[in-house]
Every structure is written in structure tokens, then in C-alpha cells.
């Protein structure tokens, strides 16, 4: 290296998993990286993700894995070929954090938490020369192309030879990702798709209170916060969406794993038709014919509740849901009641607000980017992570794609700098 060599200065804006991975790739490529984040510390959403058990990736076969990205499979799959679930696990273990595959195929760090991984990662990044600048809120570009940051000491300007934006989506704004970057890129001619909730809960409209949204007060006060375990759910009119799992009754609707998994088609159906109908199978272990027989069995003097409990195992929250969602005349007809037990219709009228969602759909479209994730309209500006327009269910697919896009954006910068 000639003595006059001075490494390129690259800014990474956003210190979530995508930005940190971009920084790591760049530092390894011999570039001076300055990483900026609006918050007092980096990786806050990553730490939150670790609270209920950090599901970093999934161990299912790659073809099934890639299918989780739906219509974006075509653009995400090549990124996963470079840095997919296997590489991610090896990378995690190289940071001294051992991983294991849970019964569902989900992959977790042995300690379940994000903190040890983040700590080891930040140490390695600092050792590699990455400089961290927290409490630096990016607020666009100055006329001369410099990046503008609001800091406690006033505005700072930074001339970067290339920039990676990894600003996250629009949920959990208090952890830093507030989507305030959307108008900044739109003002530069980037056609950003509106951020929308993904992996989110939905507001129901119970027939007991319709057209008002939500549950009846009777149901809400007794059942909000309760888990609905061992059920199956699907979207009416979308064959093949029925799957087993569990959900949770919320104050005004329903949320939890099964609902998150269906959130993209539910959201799109609500957008197109004004509502979506969730079908809940309250007795997934029993075929319809058997449920019909059991419900039609003479019940003598027994109440309907004790009849359903003894014949079909329907009690508690399941029974309350039937009463909440079915008119009395349907409850009185064994055949229709049996059908409802196998496919109870629950009308959903709106997603819960973006800020509550696990992740965001929408963002910078891949069509606006080149293969190195550089915004074509803004040479030298690259994007990574949840701010890109893709979505996936929970199960480790979110972090995997964030890390893969972070790595690709870092490589994109290195290639672009080398080619100048």
C-alpha cells in the first residue's frame, strides 16, 4: 500500500442488523466506515427481537425458505445464495454464539437472547476500525451532496464517497425506525412504496357489535389477552392458506403467530375489498363429518355448552368465540354449528397500526436498485434491510434477509468504489 493511500470514507446510516452487516463487509474490504444512528445506542430493535427468543433464521430446506419471500423470492433468493441460513449460523458461531434448531425448525442462539451476539459483534466491528456516531439523525443531503445529520451539538455534514442507508421500516418508532426517511428519498425521485404493517394484528368486527369494530364488551372484558391454542386458520377465498398454530385475542381483534403468518393476504384483501374473513378451525384434529356426528348426537337435558365440551372438546374461549361470532339461529342448528366449528368466520376490517407491527411491508422497490443494491437514480447510495420493499413471515426470515441485504449492499459499495 503506498504511503499516501487513504481509504475511502463510507457512511453507513442505521445501526440495525442490516447496517451493522454492511459495515462489517465494508471494513473487511479495507474501507473506513463511519456508522451513524439517530438513537443513543445501536441495535435496539435487534435487542427487542431477542426478548422473546431471538429467532435468527430457519433450518428448513432452502427452496421452502426462499418461498417465504412470496413475490420477492426472485430478488431475495440470489442474496440468500451468498449469505443464507447456513452461512448465517456459521457467522453467528464465529462470533462465539452457539445456535440450536428448535422443534419447529426455527434457529435460536443457545442463550436465546440478542445481547451477547450484539456485544460480540460490536467489539469485532470496533476492532475492525468501524467508527460509531450515535445520536446522529440523518436528515437528507445538503446542496453539495454532503450528508446532513442532526446531533446534540448542532448540524453535522459528512462527505461520503458512498453511503449505505439501512434505516429500517416504520414500526416501533421509539426504537429508532420511524420511516422518516421515506419523504427524503421521495424528494430525490425514488418511488418508495408506502410502508404498511406486516406480521401484525387485525381489528375484528364481531356480528354482536357490527358495523362498529371490535368485540362486544362482554367478550372483550373476559377474553382479551387470552391465547387461542391448537387451532387452525385460513383466509376465506384463499384455498391452501389453512394452517395450524395459535393466536391471541386482543382488545379489538386478533393477533399472534397464525395471524402474522396470514397478515400479507389479509391486509391485501382488506385493501381490495374493505374487509377479510378469517376462518378459524376450532377442532383441527377432528374431520368435519365427525364433528357433524358429535354435534348432532342427542344431548337430552344437557346445555349446549356441556354438550359441545363433552362431544367436541369445545369450551372456554372457543365456546365464547362461537357465541360471539354466530347468530343464535346458527347455534341452534347442529349442521351449521358443526360447519362453524370447523370454519368459524371472523370478519377483519383493518390492520392494527404500523407502529405496533413486527415488521413493515413497502419501502424502496428492488426495481429502483441495481444488483449491488445501489439506487440507480442516486449513484453511490445503497440500501439494505427492512427499508427495502419485501416482506416475510416471522420464523427468522426477517433477520436473515436483513443480514443478506446488508452484506450485498456492502459488497455493492466495494464493487462500485473499485470500478470508479
Instruction: Please give the residue ranges that form the binding site for ligand FAD (CB under 6 A).
Output: 13-19, 36-39, 42, 44-46, 48-49, 54-55, 137-138, 166-168, 171-172, 176-177, 180-181, 358-359, 385-386, 396, 398-399, 402
Cβ closest to ligand FAD, residue 107 vs residue 269 = 107
| Angstrom distance (rounded) from CA 389 to CA 362 | 4
Q: How far is the CB of 226 from ligand FAD (least distance, A)?
A: 20
The answer to whether 359 and 195 are in contact (CB under 8 A) is no
Q: What is the C-alpha to C-alpha distance for residues 68 and 167, in angstroms, rounded to an integer?
A: 23
CB of 49 to ligand FAD, least distance (A): 3
Contact, 192 vs 364, CB < 8 A?
yes
User: Which C-beta is closer to ligand FAD: that of 215 or that of 260?
Assistant: 260
Q: Which is nearer to ligand FAD, 116 or 213 (CB)?
A: 116
**Which residue's CB is nearer to ligand FAD, number 58 or number 311?**
58
Distance of alpha carbon 361 from alpha carbon 307, whole angstroms:
45
List CB contacts of 415: < 8 A, sequence separation 6 or more: 372
In angstroms, the Cα distances linking 346 to 149, 172, 228, 266 are: 47, 27, 14, 12
- β-pair type (131-133, 32-36): parallel
- Rounded Cα distance, 92 and 95, in Å: 5
Q: How far is the CB of 356 from ligand FAD (least distance, A)?
A: 9
- CB of residue 165 to ligand FAD, shortest distance in Å: 9
Q: Which is nearer to ligand FAD, 214 or 363 (CB)?
A: 363
Least separation, in Å, of the C-beta of 414 and ligand FAD?
Answer: 19
Residue whose C-alpha is closest to residue 283's, from 346, 230, 336: 230
> What's the min distance (Å) between Cβ of 26 and ligand FAD?
15
Long-range contacts of 116-121 (CB under 8 A, 24+ apart): 117/50, 117/54, 117/92, 118/43, 118/46, 118/47, 120/95, 120/96, 121/20, 121/24, 121/95
Question: Nearer to ligand FAD by C-beta: 171 or 205?
Answer: 171
Q: How far apart are CA 205 and CA 216, in angstroms?
A: 9
Instruction: Quote the least distance from Cβ 265 to ligand FAD, whole Å.
Output: 20
For residue 286, CA distances in Å to 96, 258, 275, 401 come to: 46, 19, 29, 38
CB of 81 to ligand FAD, least distance (A): 19
Chain mean position to CA 35:
24
- The three-point CA angle 274-180-388 to 5° equals 70
Cβ-based nearer residue to ligand FAD, 140 or 345: 140
> Which CB sits closer to ligand FAD, 16 or 362?
16
Cα 359 to Cα 260: distance, rounded to the nearest angstrom: 10
Return the number of the residue (234 or 385) whose C-beta is nearest ligand FAD: 385
> Minimum Å distance from CB 198 to ligand FAD?
9
Amino acid at each position: 500500500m503506498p504511503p499516501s493511500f487513504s481509504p475511502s470514507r463510507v457512511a453507513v446510516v442505521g445501526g440495525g442488523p442490516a447496517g451493522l452487516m454492511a459495515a462489517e463487509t465494508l471494513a473487511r474490504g479495507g474501507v473506513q466506515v463511519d456508522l451513524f444512528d439517530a438513537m443513543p445506542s445501536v441495535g435496539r430493535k435487534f435487542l427487542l427481537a431477542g426478548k422473546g427468543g431471538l429467532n435468527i433464521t430457519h433450518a428448513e430446506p432452502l427452496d421452502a425458505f426462499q418461498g417465504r419471500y412470496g413475490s420477492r423470492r426472485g430478488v431475495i433468493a440470489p442474496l440468500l445464495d451468498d449469505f443464507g441460513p447456513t452461512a448465517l449460523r456459521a457467522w453467528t458461531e464465529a462470533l462465539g454464539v452457539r445456535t440450536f434448531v428448535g422443534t419447529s425448525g426455527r434457529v435460536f442462539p443457545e442463550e436465546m437472547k440478542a445481547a451477547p451476539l450484539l456485544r460480540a459483534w460490536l467489539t469485532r466491528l470496533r476492532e475492525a476500525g468501524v467508527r460509531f456516531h450515535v445520536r446522529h439523525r440523518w436528515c437528507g443531503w445538503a446542496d453539495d451532496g454532503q450528508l446532513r445529520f442532526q446531533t446534540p451539538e448542532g448540524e453535522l455534514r459528512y462527505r461520503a464517497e458512498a453511503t449505505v442507508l439501512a434505516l429500517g421500516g416504520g414500526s416501533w418508532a421509539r426504537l429508532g425506525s420511524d420511516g422518516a426517511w421515506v419523504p427524503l428519498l421521495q424528494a430525490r425521485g425514488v418511488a418508495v412504496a408506502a410502508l404498511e404493517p406486516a406480521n401484525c394484528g387485525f381489528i375484528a368486527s364481531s356480528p354482536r357489535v357490527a358495523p362498529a369494530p371490535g368485540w362486544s364488551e362482554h367478550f372483550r372484558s373476559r377474553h382479551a389477552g387470552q391465547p387461542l391454542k391448537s387451532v387452525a386458520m385460513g383466509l376465506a377465498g384463499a384455498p391452501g392458506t389453512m394452517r395450524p398454530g395459535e393466536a391471541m385475542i386482543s382488545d379489538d381483534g386478533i393477533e399472534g403467530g397464525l395471524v402474522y403468518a396470514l397478515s400479507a393476504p389479509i391486509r391485501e384483501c382488506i385493501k381490495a375489498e374493505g374487509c377479510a374473513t378469517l376462518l378459524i378451525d376450532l377442532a383441527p384434529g377432528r374431520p368435519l363429518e365427525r364433528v357433524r356426528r358429535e354435534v348432532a348426537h342427542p344431548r337430552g337435558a344437557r346445555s349446549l355448552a356441556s354438550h359441545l365440551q363433552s362431544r367436541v372438546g369445545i369450551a372456554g374461549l372457543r365456546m365464547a368465540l362461537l357465541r360471539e361470532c354466530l347468530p343464535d339461529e346458527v347455534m341452534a342448528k347442529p349442521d351449521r354449528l358443526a360447519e362453524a366449528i370447523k370454519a368459524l368466520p371472523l370478519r377483519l376490517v383493518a390492520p392494527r397500526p404500523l407502529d405496533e407491527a413486527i415488521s413493515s411491508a413497502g419501502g424502496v422497490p428492488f426495481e429502483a436498485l441495481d444488483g449491488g443494491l445501489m439506487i440507480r437514480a442516486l449513484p453511490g447510495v445503497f440500501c439494505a434491510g427492512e427499508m427495502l420493499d419485501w416482506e416475510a413471515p416471522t420464523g427468522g426470515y426477517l433477520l436473515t434477509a436483513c443480514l443478506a441485504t446488508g452484506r450485498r449492499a456492502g459488497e455493492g459499495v466495494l464493487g462500485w468504489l473499485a470500478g470508479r
